Amino acid sequence: MLYLFCDNMKRFFNEYVNENIKIDRLTMIGIISLIIVISGLFGFVYEFMFYYFNSGMKYFYYRGGNFLPWINIYAIGSILICLLTYKNRKRPLVVFLKSTIICGVLEFIAGYIIYHYFGHFRCWDYNTEILNFGNIGGFICLRSVLFFGVSSLLLIYGILPITVYLSRRINKKAFITISISLVSIVMLDEIYNLGIARILNTPRASDVYKEIGFKYMDFKE
């Protein structure tokens, strides 16, 4: 059974890389929904582990602003990478280089806007982190963009083909229902913490988690 699955995946991967796979609009929405959920979760796990090592392996820090373990900028970056590098999937080096640039530009612009237009607030600060060679204003550094470049290879040659494969193997209605349900839960969490909680002055995820003892990173001037 396992051998058959691996053989099917191998043949599908060759098709994915070398041929233009036709995907209808609804299925594409389902695939994008899964990418959003998976990439945001991936970003949370990465930052959760990185800041543990950054603290000298003393503390774990909860990252992101949601109740769920999900960080939005990783989802945004993943969608941009899929859109802008999918046609280059036959050339991994091009995927890596383009993704490194895409993520670097996205991270710099997002960090710059948050800092300069939201009261000098930072969601990250490479000025204070380990392995921050090539740091520019605390917004990007060489380690971060190289990591995102490598991660893009996992996205384009691992996560994306697997989601496409699943969309073919699972009943279409079930695949789309599951995918959209998952991304809807994540988006409701995001909308509440970014907007509704501020408008209604109700507790946000960070308030609740701090209250029960979770540590958050504070990036101060």
Question: Domain-by-domain residue ranges, the chain?
Answer: 41-211
pLDDT of residue 118: 86
| CA–CA distance, 31 with 14 (Å, rounded to integer) | 19
pLDDT of residue 90: 95
Q: Which of the four pLDDT bands, split at 50, 70 and 90, describes residue 8?
A: confident
Query: Which residue has better confidence, 208 or 217?
Result: 208
Query: What is each CA distance from 180 to 12, 159, 189, in whole angstroms?
Result: 24, 17, 14
pLDDT of residue 3: 66
Question: Residue 130 — left, alpha, or beta (φ > 0 → left; ψ -120 to 50 → alpha)?
Answer: beta
Tell whether the torsion through CA atoms of 89, 90, 96 and 102 is positive or negative.
negative
Give the chain's largest Cα–Cα span: 57
* Overall average pLDDT of the 154-174 stretch: 95
pLDDT of residue 120: 84
pLDDT of residue 7: 72
Q: Is the predicted pLDDT of residue 50 greater than 90, yes or no?
A: yes
